[in-house]
Structure 1
């Protein structure tokens, strides 16, 4: 554990500078959109039956995060040009969707094409069935990130901690990748700049152009790091585990009940926390604590034997399952009290 953080402390000052510059750039872009009124004309989120907010709010957070992230990839890691191209395509289509509500088949076709292009053009040295499974998981990550973007400060916080973990691990493993560390730091910093305007009460939302693109980048950079032996296969699924666990458990429960899982709903655990009286701010802080703890455990696990790493990975998802049980108990108590 100490060796991991010694490496980060010695080599990480450039990465920290990248993160700080990215945070400032993202904040200034988004603040400018708000102050000029352009944010409202680009895309506005109007409350509906799934919403946790009660008034229209611009959803342009992606305009601060995506350009900064793409610039970081092209400047620091031009070898990742295909990831940048896929992210740009997804951001463009998702921005159109933010304004015009594109059919699901068109959106999914673009998601599918971006993932297939990445895996086919840059295949890893692994069995074909494993690459197919990884491609499916990347598609799921793209969509679940969008599902989880529904409470103030939540999706931005996951980006801050998740991509921050990528940056730290890319410096601290046995096969360090400074370029990957700088890209991760840039995305984490851009997310922090967005959070200054998104934490409760939010002045703007992420929007599909931000959430879909961040989901793709989480999967694509995770794949790149695994393909280059920077980190093991479980690492991306560990640092983004709070979102993966919530969305996956919620989906499975809806499928088991025979519900149309693709329809909008308010049954995610973070939504239940907000609706049961915990509120946006405290819900976000609770998730930040879980995210930070997961990052620390994941970085520590990198130095353990392989079998221990997978055991720790499974145990962590067990911890998240326990958190889900606690939230369910509070939700049932809240519903029962309202029925009396």
Structure 2
């Protein structure tokens, strides 16, 4: 036992125990909300013609993930207080949106304010145009995470793999605050996932998805700013969501559609609707997420040109996956018309 402790290291065990405690805490909070009936009174997702589910489901996943994540940031990474405060503010605005459907301009204003505050208060040593571009990408990550929260187990799985990759990379770089705090977020996502995998007992809700998207971008920025990982790293570990949402957005914009309106054109939605179902779709996506994380962590030790080659090649692979899904979707539509 002593030898195992020495090999893994004190920080490694701290990361593991923090993730476990966060998973238990998140699960217990959400289970309590379900068992007492409070979950239904906080926010409920009622199916419509764009939904993939057929019965009302509580949207309270954020109530388990967000408090645990913010507590971990304040306890283990107090220097990231602004990220914790911004996450809390976004969760509050998004919870109001879960209940009252706030106008898009108010939602976007809150997203912009948090990202702008982060970049202004903690600017990285980079040209202004690069910071502006990264700020835009953080805004996109906030919104795409919300767009991608539409199938059982999907958003929770992406949080588990994405923030888990952050934790492993920070652990390897010897950055305890970032390693422990991101491990806590991954653990909280795992606790939620036990209740969200198909058949889901609850959904993430905007309070959860918007906050997770912000944390993915903000902590990715923090790690890049602190030389824990290169700028491409977050784009690879969260690549399945980025690729799907970006391609879908581009298609909708080309057709002149309102991109902020709900729809069923994402690749994961086409997979569910064409016969894969929620569980199989999630498992296939988990395999892609896992492979992307492994590639990203492996590339960290390679020369820069190889790192960027991995980024380009991986997005090429994701593009090919998209083509396969599109072909299956067209075949499904033709069969449905007969």
CA distance in 1: counterparts of 2:10 and 2:95, whole angstroms: 40
2:135 is aligned with 1:135: yes
The corresponding residue for 1:316 is 314
The corresponding residue for 2:39 is 39
CA apart distance, 1:10 = 7.3
CA apart distance, 1:261 = 2.0
SS for the counterpart of 2:53 is: coil
Q: Unaligned 5+ residue runs, structure 1?
A: 1-5
CA apart distance, 1:169 = 0.2
**Is residue 8–residue 171 contact of structure 1 (8 Å, CA) maintained in 2?**
no
Structure 2 length as normaliser, TM-score?
A: 0.97
Q: How does 1:244-283 map to 2 (within 5 A)?
A: 244-283=242-281
The corresponding residue for 1:206 is 204
**CA offset digits 1:298-336 (Å, max 9, x no partner):** 000000000110010110000000100000010000000
The corresponding residue for 1:239 is 237
The corresponding residue for 2:284 is 286
CA distance in 2: counterparts of 1:185 and 1:46, whole angstroms: 33
Structure 1 length as normaliser, TM-score?
A: 0.96
The structure 2 residue matched to 1:224, chosen from 222, 231, 238, is: 222
CA distance in 1: counterparts of 2:272 and 2:328, whole angstroms: 11
CA RMSD of aligned residues (A): 1.2
2:116 is aligned with 1:116: yes
CA apart distance, 1:7 = 8.3
2:80 is aligned with 1:80: yes
Q: How does 1:38-77 map to 2 (within 5 A)?
A: 38-77=38-77
The corresponding residue for 2:323 is 325
CA apart distance, 1:258 = 2.3
SS for the counterpart of 2:297 is: helix
**CA offset digits 1:9-56 (Å, max 9, x no partner):** 774111010000000000000000000000000000000122100000
SS for the counterpart of 2:29 is: helix
**Is residue 7–residue 172 contact of structure 1 (8 Å, CA) maintained in 2?**
no
CA distance in 1: counterparts of 2:231 and 2:43, whole angstroms: 37
**CA offset digits 1:103-148 (Å, max 9, x no partner):** 1100100000000000000000000000000000000000000000
**Is residue 8–residue 172 contact of structure 1 (8 Å, CA) maintained in 2?**
no
2:184 is aligned with 1:186: yes
CA apart distance, 1:8 = 6.5
**Is residue 7–residue 171 contact of structure 1 (8 Å, CA) maintained in 2?**
no
Moved over 3 A (4+): 6-11
SS for the counterpart of 1:12 is: helix
How many equivalent residue pairs?
333
